[in-house]
Amino acid sequence: MSADRDLAEAIYQEIISAEHVEYALEVWREALLLKTWSDIDRMKSVLAHTSSAAIDAVLARRLREAARTGPWDTP
């Protein structure tokens, strides 16, 4: 359970980072240009884009760290 909690905390920290908040605002501004969308549609778009980007960033960071540190089984 601790690994799940650590992953959730890392994703949360990524979502609230300054860079990620700026990205969310950028997605919102772009969604405002779509006049046929309601505020709910815009918010769904922001949540989908930002959560996906946060999860991708955290998992990519963890994969890079795992690749860097091993374990390396060499015969």
> Closest by alpha carbon to 14, among 69, 65, 53, 63?
53
Provide the residue ranges of all domains of the chain, joining segments of one domain with +.
Answer: 2-67
- Report cis status (omega within 30 of 0) of the bond before 75: no
When pLDDT is averaged across residues 2-9 and rounded to a whole number, the result is 92
Each residue of 8-49: pLDDT tens digit?
A: 999 999 999 999 999 999 999 999 998 899 999 999 999 999
- Residue 37, Ramachandran bin (φ over 0: left; ψ between -120 and 50: alpha; else beta): beta
